[in-house]
Amino acid sequence: MLVTWKYRPRNTFIQRLDPRTRWIFLFSIILALTIPEIWDYRIVFPLFVLSLTLFFMARIEWKDVRRAFIYIFILVFFIVGLNALFFGRGGPSSVLDPSSPVLFFGVTVSKAWFAITQVTRMLTMALLAIPIPYTMDPNIYGTAFKRMGVSDKVSFTIDLAFRFLPTFARDLTITVDAQRARGYEVEKLKGGLVARIQRLAPLIIPVVMQSTVTGEEVIDAMDLRAFGTAPRSWLKELRYAARDYFMIALGVAIFITCCVLKWGFGIGGFFVPEFFTRLVT
C-alpha cells in the first residue's frame, strides 16, 4: 500500500503560477459568483469557459480525475440538478414564475433553465478546485499559507501534517500486515454495519495510539529547539512573477465587475433567455 500524492510536476502555465495566486484566483471566482448572487448565463457561461480552459491548461490526464468527476457529477447532476429541475428551489424567486410554460411533470421552462445555470455555476467552481491536489506541490502549502498572512504556528501545523503523512501511512501498512498475519481479513469485513465498523478498530487503534507517543517525542524535540519563542524563517521562498500579477488582477477584476454589474446596473440576476424558450416550447 502506497499513499501517493496526486501531484506530479508538469511544465504548464498553471503549475508555474505562485500557489498564492491559485488560491486568490479560486476565491475571487467563488466570491464573484456568490456575493452578488450571479445567475445570469451571460456571466456564468463565460466564467465556466474560463474555468474549463484553465482546467485543460493544467493538462491532467482523465484517468487521474475520473473518480473525482464521477463523484462531482453525481452530486451536481442528481442531487442538485434534478432538485432544481423539478422544484426550482435554491435560486431567486423568479425561477418559480407561474407564467412560465410547463414542459412536463411540473417542470417549467424557467426551472429547466435554472437547473442548467445552476449546474454550470457549480461546475465553474469545481473545475478550479479539482486541479489543486494534482498541480500544487504539497511541500509548499505551509509556505503559501504563511505568505498569505497565516500565523507561523498554523502554517507550521500544515507543513508538519504533510510531513507526518508518509509515516502514518507506513504505520497503517505495517498494522494491516501484522493483523493479516493474525488472520484478520481486511478485504472481507463481514457482518452488519456496526460490526464492520467495530472490526476496523484493530487497524485504527494501534496507529492512533502510536501517533500519540510519537507526538510527545516531537514536542520534546521542538521545545528543546525553542519552538515558538521567535518568528520562524521558511526554507522555500515564493516570488510573484508577471503572470501571477496578471491572474490576480484578472480574478479581482472579475469579482469587481460582477459586483458593479449586479449592484450598479442590475445585471446578473436570473432570467430565461428568449432562444431557450423558443428552443424547448
Give residues 25-84 in contact with other proteins (rule: CB under 8 A).
Answer: 26-27, 30, 34, 37, 39, 64-65, 67-68, 71-72, 74-75, 79-80, 83
Nearest approach, Cβ of 181 to other proteins (angstroms)?
17
Q: Which of residues 192-211 bind other proteins (CB under 8 A)?
A: 193-194, 196-198, 200-201, 204-205, 207-209, 211
Q: Which residues 7-26 are close enough to bind other proteins by CB under 8 A?
A: 26
| Using rule CB under 8 A, residue 5 touches other proteins | yes
Assess contact for 250 and 83: CB atoms under 8 A. no
> Could you tell me which of 68, 30, 61 has the C-alpha nearest to residue 47?
30
Nearer CB in complex with other proteins: 161/249: 161
Q: Does 213 bind other proteins (CB under 8 A)?
A: yes
Pick the binder of other proteins from 20, 111, 121, 262 (CB under 8 A). Answer: 121
- Write out the binding residues for other proteins, residues 154-193 only, by CB under 8 A: 154, 156-165, 167-169, 172, 186-187, 189, 193
Can you read off the three cell numbers belonging to residue 15?
503549475
Q: Which is nearer to other proteins, 227 or 234 (CB)?
A: 227
Give the residue with the Cβ less far from other proteins, 46 or 90: 90
How many other β-carbons are positioned within 10 Å of the β-carbon of residue 159?
A: 22
Q: Which of 90, 106, 264, 273 binds other proteins (CB under 8 A)?
A: 90
Establish if 107 lies at the interface with other proteins (CB under 8 A).
no
Q: How many CA atoms lie within 13 A of 199 on its CB side?
A: 16
